[in-house]
Amino acid sequence: KPQPQPQQGGGESRRRFEGASMSVEPVDPKPRQGQGPRPLRAADPVDPNAALEAPLTVLRGVGPETAKDFERLGLSTLGDLLHYYPRRYDNYARMKTINRLQYGEECTLIATVSDMRERKFKGNRTMLQVTLTDGTGTVEVTEFNPYRKQLLTPGRQVVVSGKVDQYLGRLTIKPREWEKLDVELLNTGRIVPVYGLTEGLYQRGLRNLTAQVANFWARRQNDPLPAEIVSRAALMNYGEALAQIHFPDNETKLADAQHRLAFDELFALQIGVLRQRRDWQTTPAQPLTIPDAGLEAFLSSLPYPLTGAQKRVVGEIRADLAASTPMNRLLQGDVGSGKTVVALLAAAAVNEVGKQAALMAPTEILARQHFERIEPLAREAGMKVALLTGRDKAAERRATLEGLDAGDIDIVVGTHALVQDNVAFRDLALAIVDEQHRFGVHQRLALGEKGEAVDVLVMTATPIPRTLVLTYFGDMDVSNLREKPAGRQKIDTRAAPLERIDDVVAGLQRAIASGARAYWVCPLVAENEELDVAAAQDRFEDLQKHFGARVGLVHGQMKGKEKDAAMLAFQRGETQVLVATTVIEVGVDVPEATIIVIEHAERFGLAQLHQLRGRVGRGAQQSSCILLYKGPLGETAKARISILRESDDGFRLAEEDLKLRGEGEILGTRQSGLPGFRLADLSVHGVLLKLAREDVDAVLETDEALTSERGRALRLLLYLFERDEAVKLLRAG
C-alpha cells in the first residue's frame, strides 16, 4: 500500500533520525570504567571519538526521565545528539510578515497574540481561536491542541510555523509548531535550529543541549575523510561542519556544512554499494551459454516481433548469463514498454540449458496475470510453468513444491510465497523480481538465495531517476527500455475539478455505450485501509446507479477469489467499468481498456500517476486519462498535472518527480527498509554523488577491506555500518 503523501513534501521523513551512528565501530575505544559514567568536564583528557559514546545523562539537565524521552528519538549518546541535525532553521533576521503570506507556502513568523478564545465543540473537545498581529496585519489561527493555551496568552510574542491555508476566502495558518519568542535569539539575529521533538522535550531545552555538545565536541572530531578528498571536493572540514549544522554563523556557512555532511552520507553509501559490486564481481558463477537455435524458435512463436530495445536488452542478459560471475541487472522500462516478455525470454534461455527460473511479482493479481501470459507461450515451447501463491490448495501446492524440487517445473511464477522456507529448487539459475519497489529487501534477497550464485534480474515499474539508480542500485548493471512497441498513441490527458464529476460520468456513459472499457481509480488516503476501501465501495455503488451490472470493483481487502473474478470479468468485457483502489497501479494489463479516471489526482505523486495512466494506451486505440482533482491545487500538484499532460516519457517524468518530491517518497524507502538520508537530497546534491563515487572507487582500489589507518577512519563515517548492511540486502535486487 503506498504511503499517504506527507503534508510538507516529505522533507521531514527524509531527515528522520535513524539510530545510533558513532557508537557502531569506534576507532580504539577507551576501555570503559567500571563505576558508570560521571559528568564530563571540558578539561578531561579524553579521546574525542570515545567520549561521544557517553550517555546523554552526563549532560547537565538530562536525568533518567529525559533520557527516556530521548530514547524515543533514537538518541542515547552524545554522539547521537551531535548528529541529530536540525529539521529546519528559522532565520530571525528574515521572517515573513503577515501581509506577505502566500497561499500554500510553508511559513514561519513572529507575531503577538492579540486575542485567544476557547471554543468547545462536540465530543467535549476544545479548540483555540487565536488572533495574531505583527504590525503589518492580523491573521486568525485555529489550534486544535488545547494544551497550547498556556503558551498562547494574549500579549505574548510567539514564533509560529505552518502552512498558509485559506478558510472562507481568508488566509490562515495551519499551525504546526509554536514557540515562545526567545528575545535573546531575536537580538543576536541568528539562524536558529529547529529540531524534531517528542513528548517531554522542548525546543529551547534541546537547543541548550545541542549547543553544549556542538560547542565543545564538534570541532574536536577527527575528520574521517582523507585530506586530499576534502580539498579536491572543496569541502568544509568535518568538525566545523558539525558545529555549523547546529548553530550556523550565516546562510553560506550553513549551506557549506550541509554540503559537507551530505557528501559524507553519499560517500558512506557508495562505499557500501561499490564494495558490494566488487563482491559479486568476484563471485564465481557457472557460465551459461545459450544456443541460438532454441531462442530463435521461441522468438518466432511470439505474437509480435521484439522492439529494438527489447532485442538489445535480451542480448545484454544473454551476455550476463554467459559470464563467469553472476548477473546482477536492473531492467528499467517505461510503463507498457514490454518488460514481461523480456523476462520470459531470459527464463526460456536458462531452461534451454536445463535450469530453472523463478519470477516473483508483488501481488496476487500480477502473479496470476504473468502466469496466464507466460504459460501458453512456454507450453508451446515445451516448458512447464507453475503458479505459486499463498492461496493454492494444499494438494496443488504440494505438487508444485515437489515439481520444483524434482526439477520437473521449469519456470515458477508467484508472489512472495516463493521465498518461504519450504520452497526448494533443484537447480535455480535465474531469479526475476518484477516491480521491485513493492518488495521488502529481505524478500528480494531470499529469492536469490534459493540456488547457487543465482543470476538476478530486477525490473522496475517505472524508470528511476539516474542519480537514484547510482545511489541505490549503484552495484548493479542497468538496462533501459525506452522504446515502446510500435503503433501506440499518446494518451489524451485532461484535468478537471471534482465538481465536474457528473460531466465525466456522462461522458463515460457515452463511451461505455459504444463498447469502451474504463478504470475508475480511488486513492488510498487515510492511514486506515478500511476507510479507503469504504470510499471505493461508495464510488462503486454510486456508479452502479448509472451503469448497473457493468461496473466491477476490486480492492486490496477482497478475498483472492473475488479479486480474480472481478479482474477476469473486466478482462472479458463482462464489466466495462472497473472501480479500483491503487491495486491496479502496477502491471495490470488489459489492452482493451482505453479510459482511466483518477479521482483525487492531487493526492498522487507524478510517477504514480504515470504508472496508473499506463494502464491504458496498451493497444492501438486512442486512450484517455481524466485527472479529477479537488481544488484549490497547491503549486506542486499544479506542476505535477501540467507535466503529466505534456509528457508521457517516464524517464523524463521520473527526473521531474525527483525535483518535486524527495527520493524517500519515490523509492518508498520507508516500506522497503532502504536507508534514508538525513541531509543528502539528491535533487540538490546529485553532483556530489559522482565525485563521491570516484573517490570511493580510488580508495577501494588500494584498500578494499578498509583496514589501513585511513580505511579505518573511513569506517567511522556516519551510518557507514548500517549502510553496508542495507546494501548487502539491496544486492538481491
Of 485, 505, 562, whose CA–CA distance to 302 is shortest? 485
Enumerate residues 336-395 that contact ligand ADP by CB under 6 A.
Answer: 336-341
Residue 466: HSE in the Cβ half-sphere, 13 Å Cα cutoff: 7
Q: Which helix (H) or strand (E) holds 502?
A: helix 501-513
Which residue number is nearest to Mg ion in terms of Cβ? 587
Task: Based on the shown chain and the rule CB under 6 A, indicate whether residue 482 belongs to the binding site for ligand ADP.
Answer: no
Task: Based on the shown chain and the rule CB under 6 A, indicate whether residue 315 belongs to the binding site for ligand ADP.
Answer: no
Task: Kindly state the smallest distance separating residue 265's Cβ from ligand ADP, in Å.
Answer: 33
Q: Which of 591, 638, 659, 683 binds ligand ADP (CB under 6 A)?
A: 591
Judged by beta carbon distances under 5 to 8 A according to partner kind, the member of Mg ion, ligand ADP, none in contact with residue 539 is none
Task: Based on the shown chain and the rule CB under 6 A, indicate whether residue 190 belongs to the binding site for ligand ADP.
Answer: no
In angstroms, the CA 14 to CA 21 distance is: 17
Indicate the residue among 10 and 617 with the shorter CB distance to ligand ADP: 617
Indicate the residue among 38 and 490 with the shorter CB distance to ligand ADP: 490
Which residue number is nearest to ligand ADP in terms of Cβ? 338
Asked if 427 and 453 count as a contact pair (C-beta separation under 8 A), the reply is no
In angstroms, the CA 99 to CA 152 distance is: 21
| Interface region with ligand ADP, contact rule CB under 6 A, candidates 86-94, 194-202, 300-308, 567-575 | 300-308
Enumerate residues 286-345 that contact Mg ion by CB under 5 A.
Answer: none
| Interface region with ligand ADP, contact rule CB under 6 A, candidates 62-70, 304-312, 383-391, 698-706 | 304-312
Indicate the residue among 336 and 605 with the shorter CB distance to ligand ADP: 336
Indicate the residue among 205 and 591 with the shorter CB distance to ligand ADP: 591
Indicate the residue among 269 and 593 with the shorter CB distance to Mg ion: 593
Judged by beta carbon distances under 5 to 8 A according to partner kind, the member of Mg ion, ligand ADP, none in contact with residue 591 is ligand ADP
What's the chain's Rg over C-alpha atoms?
29
In angstroms, the CA 231 to CA 247 distance is: 24
Q: Report helix angle 203-217 to 238-246, nearest 10.
A: 160
Judged by beta carbon distances under 5 to 8 A according to partner kind, the member of ligand ADP, Mg ion, none in contact with residue 341 is ligand ADP
Asked if 357 and 350 count as a contact pair (C-beta separation under 8 A), the reply is yes
Task: Based on the shown chain and the rule CB under 5 A, indicate whether residue 448 belongs to the binding site for Mg ion.
Answer: no
In angstroms, the CA 445 to CA 456 distance is: 10
Enumerate residues 620-679 that contact Mg ion by CB under 5 A.
Answer: none
| Interface region with ligand ADP, contact rule CB under 6 A, candidates 38-46, 142-150, 302-310, 441-449 | 302-310
Amino acid in the structure at residue 636: T
Indicate the residue among 175 and 587 with the shorter CB distance to Mg ion: 587
Of 81, 66, 17, 80, whose CA–CA distance to 211 is shortest? 81
Enumerate residues 574-593 that contact Mg ion by CB under 5 A.
Answer: 587
Task: Kindly state the smallest distance separating residue 554's Cβ from Mg ion, in Å.
Answer: 17
Q: Which residues pair with 118 in a beta bridge?
A: 128
322: its cell numbers = 554467459
Please provide residue 324's backbone torsions phi and psi, each rounded to the nearest 5 degrees.
Answer: -95, 15
Chain-centre distance of CA 528, in angstroms?
A: 20
Please state, in angstroms and as integers, the Cα–Cα distance from residue 246 to each residue in 257, 276, 514, following that order. Answer: 9, 34, 64
- The phi-psi region of residue 336 (left if phi > 0; otherwise alpha if psi is between -120 and 50; otherwise beta) is left
Residue 373's contacts (CB-CB under 8 Å, 6 or more residues apart) are 340, 344, 589
Task: Kindly state the smallest distance separating residue 355's Cβ from Mg ion, in Å.
Answer: 24
Q: Which of 310, 356, 400, 571 binds ligand ADP (CB under 6 A)?
A: 310
Of 383, 450, 385, 384, whose CA–CA distance to 416 is shortest? 450
Task: Kindly state the smallest distance separating residue 309's Cβ from Mg ion, in Å.
Answer: 15
For ligand ADP (CB under 6 A), the number of binding residues is 17
Task: Based on the shown chain and the rule CB under 6 A, indicate whether residue 650 belongs to the binding site for ligand ADP.
Answer: no
Residues found near ligand ADP in the complex (CB under 6 A) = 304, 306-307, 310, 333, 335-341, 485, 587, 589, 591, 618
Residues found near Mg ion in the complex (CB under 5 A) = 587
